[in-house]
Amino acid sequence: MAQKTVLIVYAHQSGGSFNSAVKDVAVEALRQQGYEVVVSDLYAMNFKASATMEDITGEVKNPEHFKYGEETMQAWKEGRLSDDIIAEQRKVEAAELVIFQFPMYWFSVPAIMKGWIDRVLSQGFAFSLQKMYSNGIFKDKKAMLSFTTGSMQTMYRPDGLNGDINVTLWPLQNGVLHFCGFQVLAPQVFWCPGHSPPANRTAMLDGWRARLKTLLVERPLTFAPCELFDLTFPGGFMLRPEVMEEQRTRPHGITTGHHLGKPLPPDNQLKAEG
């Protein structure tokens, strides 16, 4: 049986950071379990963040009106994407699990990681109009976010200054990972380590180390499956009428995004149901 692989896409500038320590714990713990662990250290790699015409070798179809998605999809089909993109796509193909390790910047990922998402998860390779969400290309793979915050946990509650963390995570977990078909594991959130005493940071790392022992058998988060929607152009890709009727008497929406004007399902983006 081939050795299973975990890819860690890592974005922090300092080897002395808490994010680096979190990454090192994951590498050690997963290798002890027999996994091959591959780390894409984006800053060390000087990974190019901007999605440009340079991502394609050879001629493009329409240089006057360059459409990145269309051009890179064609280039992917023909094996003409740039070497750095191809190398990262090969890592994704080999991985059973992809972990994104980063400090939260402006309620999202750092620019260099956003560039990895923009460039590596290209149309055709990671998604298509026929293969997305629960029918997505990577439906047999898992992915998760592991990140630090600069704010304390209470600030990310529904009544906290920053607002509900479930809402913050929805674009990344649903709009990127689930969109590509990944089974999305609950995020590993390290709340405000920069302002935590050493004992708390040690406890955070110990908790992560313990979770890693059973990480790949965890139940993923719940998202609305494609079967709930009318996936035709006349239907507008909307929830089917019978689904709307079924949901009418339920106390919560279906997901954080499909709230239907109701209270959000509790911690829909933080923990698996059941």
What pLDDT is stored for residue 163 in this prediction? 96
Contact 143, 183 (CB under 8 A): yes
The pLDDT tens digits of the residues spanning 46-94 come to 999 999 999 999 999 888 999 999 999 999 999 999 999 999 999 999 9
Q: From the CB of residue 43, how many other CB atoms can be counted at a distance below 10 Å? A: 15
Instruction: Give the Cα separation of 45 and 43 in Å (integer).
Output: 5
CATH architecture of the region 5-220? 3-Layer(aba) Sandwich (3.40)
Extract the tokens encoding 84. Answer: 């750095």
In sequence order, the 6+-apart residues with CB closer than 8 A to the CB of 252 are 259, 262, 263, 264, 265, 266
What pLDDT is stored for residue 41 in this prediction? 98
Share of the chain above pLDDT 70, in %: 99
Which range (67-76, 88-97, 209-218, 227-236) has the least confidence? 227-236
What pLDDT is stored for residue 273 in this prediction? 85
Q: From the CB of residue 109, how many other CB atoms can be counted at a distance below 10 Å? A: 22
**Using the 8-state DSSP alphabet, how is residue 178 labeled?**
I
Three-state DSSP state, 6: strand
In sequence order, the 6+-apart residues with CB closer than 8 A to the CB of 168 are 107, 156, 162
Is pLDDT of 2 > 80?
A: no
Mean pLDDT of the chain: 96
Mean pLDDT confidence for 119-128: 97
The pLDDT tens digits of the residues spanning 154-174 come to 999 999 999 999 999 999 999
What pLDDT is stored for residue 1 in this prediction? 59
Share of the chain above pLDDT 90, in %: 93
What pLDDT is stored for residue 209 in this prediction? 98
From the list 32, 29, 37, 28, the residue with the least C-alpha distance to 4 is 37
Contact 238, 257 (CB under 8 A): no
The pLDDT tens digits of the residues spanning 178-190 come to 999 999 999 999 9
What pLDDT is stored for residue 236 in this prediction? 86
Is pLDDT of 240 > 80?
A: yes
The pLDDT tens digits of the residues spanning 252-273 come to 999 999 999 999 999 999 999 8
Instruction: Give the Cα separation of 112 and 96 in Å (integer).
Output: 23
The Cα-based distances of 231 to 127, 179, 238 in angstroms read 16, 15, 7
What pLDDT is stored for residue 234 in this prediction? 82
Burial (CB < 10 A; 0-12, 13-18, 19+), residue 197, is exposed
What pLDDT is stored for residue 227 in this prediction? 95
What totals of helices (H) and strands (E) does the chain contain, helices first? 8, 6
Residue type, 230: D
Instruction: Give the Cα separation of 148 and 272 in Å (integer).
Output: 20
Residues of the chain with CATH 3.40.50.360: 5-220
The pLDDT tens digits of the residues spanning 136-149 come to 999 999 999 999 99
In sequence order, the 6+-apart residues with CB closer than 8 A to the CB of 81 are 55, 56, 57, 72, 75, 89, 122
